[in-house]
Structure 1
């Protein structure tokens, strides 16, 4: 085979690969991936990829964002409801596999995804009309971004909330740097570094959800919300409160972390990840040992970026946080751990990522600082 033919074959393979990536990120072969409809006086968004646990891709973002803008100006739309199809998940996260595939070959779709996702998160966070997220089922990563910045977040006994990004070489993005440090004490830092999973009523107790309603009542709740005529925020809150009062499931169970809150506030109160790990090792309690073991499996780089992200985000606006996080995505896309984490957790599923650098001590403060540096004209514009 001549060099020219070989080059052509390689180029063709690259083009085919790019087309596959773009197809994965952008297209739908099984009908609309997001349903947008008017029901009564409400705009209703249904994430419609149940087989993919409603994972958020660029096509969905590009449908939801303009529709939210449109409904905001529509005098006949009084509130927005967002939910997931299929009964298992609200939204299990962003379509990270597609993002890593695009990132590996330098396809701008990867950065387009983060940029447009964060613009959507900001739109939700600044939305003028009541915005109700029915987080009935798995709610992680990108699904948190679609819900937590809205005025109302309704958890059920089926809700499973987590920000597990340090396990895949990323950081708790979609505004995690804004809402996590605003949870009680050091709870946000604990959730961000360990990826700890909260379930059911505990999502409300942690301050992530605003209401808890039993899953079987969600249909009736949705109908009562769509039947409201020109509701104010307090009208919507009144309906949600009334449903919460009718939902007694697990009300007597204590918060899963109740007995550990004092320990979390003490052990995760350090200026560095090394300081936190040192606290955990010195404490030596079963809880502390378990957290130290969990952190030993996470990407050292991700943990360093995450702690600084939350420390800075605590005093930033949502817009400033999302701008900072967009800078961090560029750093992660240039690094190695994000691709390795996705390979180990989502693709090969061997759960044995080989992090580089492999220890906290090998990571210079300068490299962490560089990850937060302005992108100049490429910075996120909100």
Structure 2
């Protein structure tokens, strides 16, 4: 073998080795990136969960769920952990929702993803709802969809003037899941029905006034509040509550501003207290006020199927336990994944961004009771087990 051959062989070996090192590094960085999507730390008296995908507004994915759930369970059993805090990195969002594009992509490639993600997400939401340790969510910034599921079932939810809450799922052919069927119908009057059907956004102190947050704190005080909570020595639920109450009482931002929907609450309560979406629409048309007509315009853009399953989800959820609601919502989620509108909604809003989804069926009267019933059917042995 002459020198050139040896040289070629060496170069080939080196590039093979180089490629291998690069591949290994990519695999590692992929792995570490995945691990760093959530930071889990024991600090002071607390376990602290930080959602760490600020570039993606801390959107929740399956990997994050799989990191949070076992740690939550561990801290719940740990006698040295008195409190669990969850927050988002980056200041813009607590958690903007679930990674829905992944779900839509999985339609053709891997249906197991859509089963696993909803099953494990709702299992985590339920674990938060039944957590034996005080659970404090800092819902600072955008909090929608999956982010609501990580916060609203916990004992304490702290909003700031930068909080932005919405359940906008009817606009993408889905329904307000993550336990929306439980907490929305339990808000004052028909507020939850209004928020669910229209996707109306609540900001700042209004998130507290609506009953979604338990406390409101000026955002510049959030760091101090966290430090105070972490410094508590073997705190009881009451001790934690006292600290939160003290900060809440001192918060001045928008203190004297009335709830944004206050002047409309009577209308919301009467117009949205119907058992069918058609009746709600008729109520809005008959009312004819600028507020009613504005809501009508919004509702008419939503998926007709989503509107019908959402109204029924809330009516049924109003008398179910949280666990029963998750079982119902899991059935709905799987039916939506099999259906047309969710994938069309994702296409229109996230992929082509043309904002003009073509819903099927295109109007309410074509969505039959039988269609709606099919969404609520048991999945037999595939039902969610909590």
Scaled by the length of structure 1, the TM-score of the pair is 0.92
1:174-193 map, 5 Å: 174-193=178-197
**Is residue 2:270 matched to residue 1:266?**
yes
Gaps of 5+ in 1: 1-22
Partner of 1:292 in structure 2? 296
- Cα shift at 1:301: 0.1
Partner of 2:134 in structure 1? 130
User: Given the superposition, is the C-alpha separation of residues 29 and 41 from structure 1 closer, same or farther in structure 2, using an over 3 Å criterion?
Assistant: closer
Q: Deviations over 1:47-94 (max 9, x none)?
A: 000000000000000000000000011111000000000010000000
1:65-144 map, 5 Å: 65-144=69-148
**Is residue 2:219 matched to residue 1:220?**
no
Partner of 1:9 in structure 2? none
Partner of 1:158 in structure 2? 162
Partner of 2:256 in structure 1? 252
User: Given the superposition, is the C-alpha separation of residues 377 and 80 from structure 1 closer, same or farther in structure 2, using an over 3 Å criterion?
Assistant: same
In 2, Cα distance between equivalents of 1:280 and 1:156: 32
Partner of 1:302 in structure 2? 306
**Is residue 2:79 matched to residue 1:59?**
no
SS in 1 for 2:111: coil
Kept after mapping to 2: 8 A contact 1:324/1:372: yes
Q: Deviations over 1:90-118 (max 9, x none)?
A: 00000001111112334311110000000
Bigger radius of gyration among the two: 2
Partner of 1:10 in structure 2? none
Kept after mapping to 2: 8 A contact 1:300/1:358: yes
In 1, Cα distance between equivalents of 2:368 and 2:85: 45
Kept after mapping to 2: 8 A contact 1:27/1:59: no
- Cα shift at 1:350: 1.0
| Count of aligned pairs | 358
Q: Deviations over 1:138-164 (max 9, x none)?
A: 000000000000000000000000000
Partner of 1:14 in structure 2? none
Match of 2:235 among 231, 239, 242: 231
In 2, Cα distance between equivalents of 1:306 and 1:289: 21
Q: Deviations over 1:172-225 (max 9, x none)?
A: 000000000000000000000000000000000000000000000000000011
Q: Deviations over 1:284-335 (max 9, x none)?
A: 0000000000000000000000000000000000000000000001110110
1:307-322 map, 5 Å: 307-322=311-326
In 2, Cα distance between equivalents of 1:28 and 1:355: 40
- Cα shift at 1:27: 6.3
Kept after mapping to 2: 8 A contact 1:121/1:149: yes
Kept after mapping to 1: 8 A contact 2:114/2:334: no
- Cα shift at 1:367: 1.1
User: Given the superposition, is the C-alpha separation of residues 298 and 27 from structure 1 closer, same or farther in structure 2, using an over 3 Å criterion?
Assistant: farther
Q: Give the stretch that moved more between structures: 154-163 or 362-371.
A: 362-371
- Cα shift at 1:29: 4.0
- Cα shift at 1:28: 6.3
Gaps of 5+ in 2: 1-26
In 2, Cα distance between equivalents of 1:28 and 1:347: 28
Partner of 1:241 in structure 2? 245
**Is residue 2:350 matched to residue 1:346?**
yes
In 2, Cα distance between equivalents of 1:83 and 1:31: 16
Partner of 2:151 in structure 1? 147
In 1, Cα distance between equivalents of 2:162 and 2:57: 13
Task: Give the CA RMSD over aligned residues.
Answer: 1.2
Match of 1:170 among 163, 167, 174: 174
- Cα shift at 1:31: 6.2
SS in 2 for 1:81: strand
Match of 2:285 among 281, 284, 288: 281
In 2, Cα distance between equivalents of 1:29 and 1:212: 33
Scaled by the length of structure 2, the TM-score of the pair is 0.91
In 2, Cα distance between equivalents of 1:191 and 1:331: 22
